């Protein structure tokens, strides 16, 4: 049996959703800005990640903090690490981060592996460079970055 209350449920639900959507969220509840990159490892070494996610906190005690996460970090540390903006101009923005004391599958070890991701502001095209301290070669990759929802 359809009672008067039952027939009002869709209206009550819609009204509640509208009120919730219009209610300002406290600053701590704001979502971080996210950028995801799909990268092709042109070096073939396995040290250039195929996927990179950068997040920037937009509020709270860590407002402005940038973190990076990728499959290499997932395997080695199991968590994101801090990244920094290393260059920013009208054409592109670059981010940098480093891993300490890493060893590859062949057993080669380096004290530090420095990463740099450069993203074009025009089209989101991306270049990644990974440099192992004490080695001359630079491992590279390229791809594209964007934010979910186009934001």
**Can you tell me the mean pLDDT for 115-126?**
97
Q: What are the two backbone dihedrals, phi and then psi, of residue 20, each rounded to the nearest 5 degrees?
A: -65, -45
Question: Would you state the pLDDT for residue 145?
Answer: 97
Q: Minimal CA–CA distance to 94: which of 118, 61, 77?
A: 118
Note the pTM of the prediction, 2 decimals. Answer: 0.75
Helices (H), 23-84: 71-76
Share of the chain above pLDDT 70, in %: 75
- Distance (Å, whole) CA 132 – CA 110: 6
Q: Specify the pLDDT at position 65.
A: 94
**CA 91/CA 82 separation, integer angstroms:** 24
Mean pLDDT for all residues in the chain: 82
Give, in degrees to the nearest 5, the angle at Cα 121 between 118 and 125. Answer: 55
Rounded CA Rg of the chain? 22
Q: Indicate the domain borders of the chain.
A: 27-150
Of the two residues 129 and 5, the one the predictor is more confident about is: 129
pLDDT at 101: 84
Cβ-in-10-Å burial (0-12, 13-18, 19+) of 76 comes to: middle
Report which of residues 54 and 14 the model is more confident about: 54
Of the given ranges (17-21, 28-32, 95-99, 129-133), which has the lowest mean pLDDT? 17-21
In the block, tokens 């260059």 appear at 87
Cβ within 8 Å of residue 36, ≥6 positions away: 51, 52, 53, 54, 145, 146, 147, 148
pLDDT at 138 exceeding the cut of 80: yes
Backbone φ and ψ of 120, nearest 5°: -70, 135
């Amino acid at each position: 049996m359809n009672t008067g209350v039952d027939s009002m449920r869709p209206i009550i639900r819609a009204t509640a959703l509208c009120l919730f959507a219009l209610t300002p969220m406290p600053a701590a509840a704001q979502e971080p800005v996210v950028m995801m990159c799909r990268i092709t490892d042109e070096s073939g070494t396995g040290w250039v990640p195929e996927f990179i996610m950068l997040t920037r906190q937009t509020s709270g005690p860590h407002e402005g903090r940038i973190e990076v996460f990728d499959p290499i970090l997932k395997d080695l540390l199991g968590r994101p690490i801090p990244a920094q903006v290393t260059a920013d101009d009208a054409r592109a923005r670059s981010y940098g981060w480093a891993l300490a004391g890493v060893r590859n599958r062949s057993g080669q070890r380096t004290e530090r592996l420095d990463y740099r991701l450069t993203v074009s502001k025009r089209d989101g095209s991306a270049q990644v460079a990974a440099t192992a301290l004490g080695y001359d070669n630079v491992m590279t990759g390229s791809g594209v970055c964007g934010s979910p929802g186009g934001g």
